[in-house]
A = this chain, B = another copy of it.
Amino acid sequence: MISVAIVDDHKILTEGLQGLIDESGMATVIGIAHSASTCRISLGFWKPDVLLLDIGLPDSSGLDFCKEIKQQYPQIKILALTTHNEYSIVKQMLDNGASGYLIKNAMAEEVLAGIQAVADGNTFLCHEINLLMKRPKETHIWLSQREREMLKLIAEGFTNGEIADRIFLSPETIKSYRKNLLLKLGAKNTAVLVRIAMEQKLI
Contacts and interface: CB of A to CB of B under 8 A. Distances in A.
A189 B154 CA distance: 10
A156 interface: yes
B104 A15 contact: no
Given A16-B16, A19-B19, A104 B10 contact: yes
Interface stretch (A71-79, A93-101, A117-125, A191-199): A191-199
Interface of A: 9-13, 15-17, 19-20, 34, 56, 58, 83, 104-108, 111, 154-157, 159, 187-195, 198-199
B195 A11 contact: no
Contacts of A106: 11-12
Contacts of A105: 9-11, 34, 58
Contact of A191 (B10, B34, B108, B191): B191
* Chain A interface helix/strand/loop/mixed: helix
A154 B189 CA distance: 10
Contact of A108 (B12, B34, B104, B194): B12
B11 A187 contact: no
B10 A187 contact: no
17 contacts: A11-B105, A12-B16, A15-B20, A16-B16, A16-B19, A83-B83, A155-B191, A155-B194, A156-B195, A157-B189, A157-B191, A157-B192, A159-B189, A191-B191, A191-B193, A191-B194, A194-B195
